[in-house]
Amino acid sequence: MVINHQNKIKIPVTELEQSAFCQDGSNFRTKTLEQEFKAGVRWQKIPTRYLKLKPEEIKSSISELKKALGEKVVILGHHYQREDVIEFSDLQGDSFLLSKLAAETKDAEVIIFCGVHFMAETAEILSSNKQKVILPNMAAGCSMADMASTEEVQRCWKELSDIFDSDSDKQPVIPVTYMNSTASIKSLCGQNNGIVCTSSNAKQAFDWAYDRGERILFVPDQHLGRNTAKDYGIKESEMVIWDPYKKNGGLSVDEIINSKIILWKGHCSVHTRFSVKQIENAKIKNPDVNILVHPECTNEVVSKADYVGSTEYIKNIVHQAKPGTSWAIGTEINLVKRLSHTYTDKNIFCLDEMVCPCATMYRVHPAYLLWVLEGLVAGFVINQISVDDNDQKFSKLSLQRMLDLPK
């Protein structure tokens, strides 16, 4: 869902919603659904009886329903989920790990994906035809994915195709899409000799793409694309940004031809909040603090960090760290808070003192999980995810190329 302005710039509603849940970190807890709706959020409608349920009532009911459903249902939980959703997940991970787990989860009849829409789509694509995938709140999209609509990316691909007439044995452009994109974008990559990547394997995806093509179109996160390209040795002068609201992305033909990577003008609303100033402040307070950030942060932040990596990487680095060490982390607050509560022998805090959860992940309130579980017990499948046959076929192709990348 987006808000359209007269200048045709689209601002995802999730970008506006996020500020409603920003806090100083001292009182970060789930309220009743009715209370959270008062923030003016635009979430999926749910039967009114769930609105006033207190967190304790919801937890008790979810526990009973999980026991009743047994192994028929598996709940996948992304690291950015609230604690009172994660506690009911059978498997946890980042988008890469969960995509693998979805492909390996063969026994469960139903997969409930506590994450966002593109993740549930990926689970649907990689799971068997006999399995059903449920997203508790269908409004849980992704602001980054919203910045690259199917129509915009298709138009970009056509404009690029019209420009190139390469005599090289290699394809002029290889499309590489970040996992944070719709099934239709993944399908476009599958149809055009492209691949999906995550922040865990972007470097390997670049290896794969440059073996086959002269340049990369990287969709939709410009920051992950730029950070990976810099690590790869690509010069800043060889990187261009594609603005989907301008013809040829606002670029000249020469700029496109001379590029090694074309970066889509998209970003993560959570990770772009982190700044060099925050790093400097953390270092002033504690010169020995380790700065650990996600590669969706800007390059200015990444270049000042001590450690950079995916959500799973961040989790593992903290796990392996020595007791007594300090860690200022630049990623989604629910993961940071969970790490600080788990590793009490280390000083772990968020780089941004005014912490903001991922607004789309935040939409999976435990009341929605209760709703879909009660539906299953009653014989109803609520919020089943479906992907059309064409997108299924080609998305699976681009995803399988990712899963086949060397570790």
Shared-domain flag, residues 54 and 123: yes
* Cβ-contact 269, 18 below 8 angstroms: yes
**Structural domain span for residue 57:** 31-141+360-387
Shared-domain flag, residues 252 and 291: no
Shared-domain flag, residues 150 and 255: yes
Predicted pLDDT of residue 121? 94
* Cβ-contact 81, 334 below 8 angstroms: yes
Shared-domain flag, residues 120 and 194: no
Among 245, 269, 293, the domain-final residue is: 269
Shared-domain flag, residues 324 and 377: no
- Is residue 20 situated within a structural domain? no
Predicted pLDDT of residue 167? 66
Task: List, in sequence order, every beta strand (DSSP E) within 233-385.
Answer: 239-242, 261-264, 290-293, 307-308, 326-330, 347-350
Distance between CA atoms of 102 and 91, rounded to whole angstroms? 10
Q: Say how many domains are in the chain.
A: 3
Shared-domain flag, residues 159 and 264: yes
Shared-domain flag, residues 154 and 260: yes
Among 269, 292, 315, the domain-final residue is: 269
pLDDT tens-digit profile, the chain (407 residues): 333 333 333 434 444 454 555 554 444 578 899 998 888 888 999 999 999 999 999 999 999 999 999 999 999 999 889 899 999 999 998 877 887 887 788 889 999 999 999 999 999 999 988 999 999 999 998 889 999 999 999 999 999 999 987 667 899 999 999 999 999 999 999 999 999 999 999 999 999 999 999 999 999 999 999 999 999 999 999 999 999 999 999 999 999 999 999 999 999 989 999 999 999 999 999 999 999 999 999 999 999 999 999 999 999 999 999 999 999 999 998 899 999 999 999 999 999 977 667 788 889 999 999 999 999 999 999 999 999 999 999 999 999 999 999 97
* Cβ-contact 372, 62 below 8 angstroms: no
Residue (of 226, 253, 248) closest to 239 by Cα position: 226
Distance between CA atoms of 7 and 160, rounded to whole angstroms? 24
Helix axes 55-69, 366-377, angle to 10 degrees: 40
Distance between CA atoms of 373 and 378, rounded to whole angstroms? 9
Predicted pLDDT of residue 7? 32
Shared-domain flag, residues 121 and 229: no
Task: List, in sequence order, every beta strand (DSSP E) within 79-209.
Answer: 91-93, 110-114, 132-134, 171-178, 195-197
Shared-domain flag, residues 123 and 193: no
- Is residue 295 situated within a structural domain? yes
CA dihedral 122, 128, 130, 136 (to 10 degrees): -20
Shared-domain flag, residues 177 and 265: yes
Q: What tokens does 282 get?
A: 């953390």
Can you give the CATH number for the domain in which 325 is found?
3.40.50.10800
Strands, sheet with 73-78, edge to edge from the N-terminal-most edge strand: 91-93, 73-78, 110-114, 132-134
Place of tokens 């086949």: 404
- Is residue 376 situated within a structural domain? yes
Shared-domain flag, residues 276 and 263: no
Among 269, 289, 316, the domain-final residue is: 269
The residues, any chain, with a CB within 8 Å of residue 274's CB and separated by 6 or more, are 293, 297, 298, 301, 330, 351, 352
Q: What single string gives the DSSP state of each residue in 20-67?
A: GG-B-SSS-----HHHHHTT---PPP--GGGTS--HHHHHHHHHHHHH
Shared-domain flag, residues 375 and 330: no
Distance between CA atoms of 289 and 328, rounded to whole angstroms? 7
- Is residue 108 situated within a structural domain? yes
Strands, sheet with 290-293, edge to edge from the N-terminal-most edge strand: 307-308, 290-293, 326-330, 347-350
* Cβ-contact 122, 103 below 8 angstroms: no
- Is residue 333 situated within a structural domain? yes
- Is residue 397 situated within a structural domain? no
CA dihedral 177, 182, 188, 191 (to 10 degrees): 90
Distance between CA atoms of 105 and 83, rounded to whole angstroms? 23
Chain CA centroid to CA 22, Å: 19
- Is residue 406 situated within a structural domain? no
Place of tokens 């899963």: 403
- Is residue 23 situated within a structural domain? no
